């Protein structure tokens, strides 16, 4: 079939806590083969929490691969058997301390489809109420609140560099007519 590749061999070369890497051989539509190294990931969720005043909460955290602090929407990985809606609610409370009355599904994104199977499901949280923050023991972050319009400017100016955050901010702004 046109634009389809069939896996003819797959070898697990790394299995970790968060992802697995396979070294695959794929049959191409012209009959030749190609090597595909794939990072298999269970997926994740991101949530853009928006207040009644159209302010959002971002988390600032150190990202080791880039040796820098980033500003991102709350997010996390799906646990086995967990729905992405429940994961979003869990991550919102764990990272910001907030629960919400409404979760609006914003769709999904493929962060790096050339070699990574991760799907990130996106939500907008409304009707926020503070409960309690419950960070993982290896998680260190600061929560900041900024106007959604300012976040859009930070995305457009290249200050917010995280892909899921850029998309969530722009989708939320469009949905809320900001």
Q: pLDDT tens for residues 10-60?
A: 999 999 988 999 999 999 999 999 999 999 999 999 999 999 999 999 999
Note the pLDDT of residue 153. 98
For 151-162, the pLDDT digits (tens) are 999 999 999 999
For 26-40, the pLDDT digits (tens) are 999 999 999 999 999
Distance CA 80, CA 92 (A): 18
Structure-block tokens of residue 145: 């609140």
Q: How confident is the model over 80-102, as a mean pLDDT?
A: 96
Domain ranges of the chain: 6-41, 44-175
Give domain 44-175's CATH architecture. Answer: Alpha-Beta Complex (3.90)
Could you list the beta-strand ranges (E) of 28-160. Answer: 33-41, 44-49, 55-63, 68-72, 75-77, 98-99, 102-109, 120-126, 129-130, 142-147
29 tagged catalytic? no
Number of DSSP helices (H) and strands (E) in the chain, helices first: 3, 12
pTM, whole model, 2 decimals?
0.92
Pick the catalytic residue from 79, 108, 137, 139: 137
């Amino acid at each position: 079939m046109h634009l389809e590749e069939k896996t003819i061999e797959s070898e697990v070369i790394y299995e970790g806590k968060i992802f697995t890497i396979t070294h695959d051989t794929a049959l191409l539509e012209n009959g030749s083969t190609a090597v595909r190294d794939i990072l298999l990931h269970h997926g994740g969720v991101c949530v853009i929490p928006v207040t009644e005043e159209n302010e959002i909460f971002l988390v600032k955290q150190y990202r080791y691969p880039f040796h820098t602090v980033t500003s991102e929407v709350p997010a996390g990985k799906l646990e086995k058997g967990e729905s992405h809606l429940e994961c979003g609610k869990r991550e919102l409370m764990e990272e910001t301390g907030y629960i919400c009355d409404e979760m609006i599904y914003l769709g999904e994104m493929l962060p790096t489809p050339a070699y990574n199977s991760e799907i990130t499901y996106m939500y907008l949280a409304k009707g926020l109420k503070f409960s309690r923050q419950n960070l993982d023991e290896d998680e260190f972050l600061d929560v900041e609140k900024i106007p959604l319009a300012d976040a859009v400017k930070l995305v457009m100016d290249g200050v917010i560099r995280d892909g899921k955050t850029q998309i969530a901010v722009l989708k939320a702004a469009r949905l809320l007519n900001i």
